[in-house]
Chains A and B, each alone.
Chain A
Amino acid sequence: MRSFSYERATSPGAAAAAAATTANAKFIAGGTNLLDLMKLEIETPAHLIDVNDLALDRIDETADGGLRIGALVRNTDLAADRRVRRDYGVLSRALLAGASGQLRNKATTAGNLLQRTRCPYFYDTNLPCNKRKPGSGCAAIGGFSRQHAVVGVSDACIATHPSDMAVAMRALDAVVETVRPDGTTRNIPIAELHRLPSDSPEIETTLQPGELITAVTLPKPIGGTQVYRKVRDRASYAFALVSVAAIVQRDGSGRVALGGVAHKPWRVEAAEAELPGGAKAVTARLFADAKQTRDNAYKLPLAERTLAAVLREGGA
């Protein structure tokens, strides 16, 4: 690990300002992804800004009947929150499908959104990776790519976003609240937080340098049957090959977001109009522009079948 200096931030605004004015600075909260990457020298910050003292660990009800989840709320606490379990079951389920008990006790809401891909070529510093070293090439394209993205890919990168939580939040139309280095705040719909890889896969979000996530807001509950189904290589403690977050209403309408298939949680609102036609019709729209590899082509039928199972469970 490269050496770094360390400070504990005292306010969100001060943390954002420090991140913008200190060379090569990073925020650290749970640290479960960042420290792993620092040990491998994939992340090499010169300065860490510890945000754990910022009192962003509350879950509050909003004026319009939704929930405002502080950026530092741990995955365990969010999954176990009585209101989340009752009104946003898909989020609770997605969180519990991710990582291990130990990691969920540390991992934070904001950190989960910002975790890096688990593409094995991103982790292997002996091989080219445009995300790790822009311009070096992509070893996954033409390589062993069974875990990789099938839609929204580019010639520079076919990595997936690894989060389960973010997939559920995408289905729930969550909004990300931030503070920028100049002290101003803004709200970013989660659909606009993560980027597709395009020709700059090293830039994964629309956050500006130094911008700090302070909370994630969920709109008021929309009811329905909420399901999160994750398909993986082992029954627990593994990343998704394909996952489906769905909210199905009694009238057959609903929302569907997929994990494990793209560089961001994959939701195409227009595809949801096809729900009465069943999983095949929905996935045909979701994967209209799919560009699969020989190794990961299985994800297309797997996603369709997983969605079919989820819709059965949802009573559609």
Chain B
Amino acid sequence: MAKVSFDVNGETHQFELDTRTTLLDALREHLHLTGTKKGCDHGQCGACTVIVDGRRINSCLTLAVMHQGDEITTIEGLGTPDALHPLQAAFVEHDGYQCGYCTPGQICSAVAVLAEVKAGIPSHVTTDLNAPVRLTNAELRERMSGNICRCGAYSNIAEAISAVAGRSA
């Protein structure tokens, strides 16, 4: 067992955990924040994506004890049913899901993608590494490739993210 404390959605939590506990399991099993989903549990599907200190990561591939003092944002921290985050609203508007299981990860990932583009971080499909990044459809799809949607709602997911990106551009 080991002690750790970190912030989740603006609130500080203290834990005493088995060292084996992943961040994903700490969120779901200990804080009962079940919005973050366990898909493959091996970093292949992206359903567990959360934002830690402003960066998206796979919460299944990191130990909770390694996050002392970190600030973690999950889907529950982005918006509420009464006050949706713009990306949550856009996913509803553009029908960016079917079963919905990958959606929290898709939305957390998309929030971070927009920040990454704003910060000028290039991607595999960026033509010129030394020019500003434009969020084309190809850029969007490459940057979201770590989030698998088994229902295949990709085109609507891309539309939802593009709509928000266009508004904030």
Contacts and interface: CB of A to CB of B under 8 A. Distances in A.
Contact of A102 (B56, B129, B141): B56
A283 interface: no
A220 interface: no
Nearest to A34: B61
A198 interface: no
Interface stretch (B5-13, B38-46, B90-98): B38-46
Interface stretch (A90-98, A147-155, A175-183, A202-210): A90-98
A48 interface: yes
Contacts of B62: 31-32, 35, 106
Contacts of A86: 129-130
B57 interface: yes
Interface stretch (A3-11, A255-263, A300-308): A3-11
Interface in B25-77: 41-43, 46, 49, 55-58, 61-63, 65-66
Contacts of B55: 76, 105
Contacts of B41: 39
B124 A96 contact: yes
A28 B61 contact: no
Contacts of B56: 101-102, 105
B20 A102 contact: no
B122 A80 contact: yes
A100 B18 CA distance: 28
Interface string B113-157: 100100111111010011000000000011111110000000000
A35 B61 contact: yes
A93 B129 CA distance: 9
B109 interface: yes
Contact of A85 (B19, B46, B109, B130): B130
Contacts of A237: 145-146
A236 B19 contact: no
A93 B130 CA distance: 12
Contact of A236 (B63, B119, B124, B129): B124
B167 to A, nearest CB: 22
A313 interface: no
B61 A101 contact: no
Contacts of A96: 122-124, 126
A103 interface: yes
B84 interface: no
A235 B138 CA distance: 11
A85 B61 contact: no
A28 B66 contact: yes
Interface in A157-187: none
23 contacts: A6-B65, A28-B66, A32-B43, A36-B42, A39-B41, A48-B19, A52-B66, A76-B55, A79-B121, A80-B122, A92-B122, A93-B129, A96-B123, A100-B145, A101-B112, A101-B146, A102-B43, A102-B46, A102-B109, A105-B56, A106-B57, A236-B124, A237-B145
Interface of A: 1, 3-6, 28, 31-32, 35-36, 39, 48, 50, 52, 76, 79-80, 85-86, 89, 92-93, 96-97, 99-103, 105-106, 235-237
